[in-house]
Amino acid sequence: MGKAGEQNRIEEPETAVRIRLLSKAAPLLSDWFGKKGRPLPWRAVKDPYRILVSETMLQQTRIETVLRYYERFLERFPDFESLAAADEETVLKLWEGLGYYSRARNLKKAAEACVRDHGGRLPETAEGLKKLPGIGDYTAGAVASLAFGEAAPAVDGNVLRILARFFADERDVTVPAVKKEAAALLRSVLETLPDPGVFNEALMELGEICCVPNGRPFCRSCPFKDSCRAMALGLEEDLPLRGAPKPRRIEKKTVLLLHCGGRTALEKRPDKGLLAGLYGFPILDGWLERADIRAFLESYGARGAELKEAGGAVHVFTHVEWYMKAYRIETNEPLPGYIYAEAQEIRTRYALPSAFKYFAE
Ligand code: ADE
Condensed to tens digits (0 to 9), the pLDDT of residues 16-65 reads 999 999 999 999 999 999 999 999 999 988 899 999 999 999 998 999 99
Q: How confident is the model at residue 4 (pLDDT cuts 50, 70, 90)?
A: very low
> Which pTM value belongs to this model?
0.71
Final residue before a domain boundary, out of 206, 233, 260: 233
Q: Ligand 1 center to residue 155 CA distance, Å? A: 12
Q: Do residues 295 and 221 share a domain?
A: no
User: Can you give the pLDDT at residue 319?
Assistant: 85
pLDDT per residue as tens digits for the range 255-270: 999 999 999 999 998 8
pLDDT per residue as tens digits for the range 274-308: 888 789 999 999 999 999 999 999 999 998 898 99
* Selection from 204, 236, 242, 206 nearest residue 221 by Cα: 206
CB 145 within 8 A of CB 204: no
Quickly list H helices, 11-125: 14-36, 41-44, 48-58, 63-76, 80-85, 88-95, 102-117
Q: 111 lies in a domain?
A: yes
- Cα–Cα distance list, 201 to 106, 170, 207, 336 (Å): 23, 25, 10, 52
Q: 121 lies in a domain?
A: yes
Final residue before a domain boundary, out of 208, 233, 258: 233
Dist. CA 286–CA 270, nearest whole Å: 18
Q: Ligand 1 center to residue 204 CA distance, Å? A: 6
pLDDT per residue as tens digits for the range 109-142: 999 999 999 999 999 999 999 999 999 999 999 9
Q: Do residues 277 and 219 share a domain?
A: no
Final residue before a domain boundary, out of 186, 206, 233: 233
Dist. CA 189–CA 220, nearest whole Å: 25
Q: Do residues 167 and 302 share a domain?
A: no
Say yes or no to pLDDT of 8 above 60: no
- The length of the chain, given as a count of residues: 361
% of the chain exceeding 70 in pLDDT:
97
Q: Do residues 69 and 216 share a domain?
A: yes
Q: Ligand 1 center to residue 43 CA distance, Å? A: 9
What do you get for the CA distance between the two ends of the chain, in Å?
Answer: 42
Q: Which of 9-13, 237-241, 271-275 has maximum average pLDDT?
A: 237-241
Q: Do residues 195 and 84 share a domain?
A: yes
- Domain hosting 261: range is 249-360
Site to substitute for ligand 1 among 33, 43, 45, 54, most atoms within 8 A of C-beta? 54
> Using CA positions, which residue lies closest to atom 5 of ligand 1?
201
Q: Is 204 in the pocket of ligand 1 (CB under 6 A)?
A: yes
Q: Is 58 in the pocket of ligand 1 (CB under 6 A)?
A: yes
Q: How confident is the model at residue 9 (pLDDT cuts 50, 70, 90)?
A: low
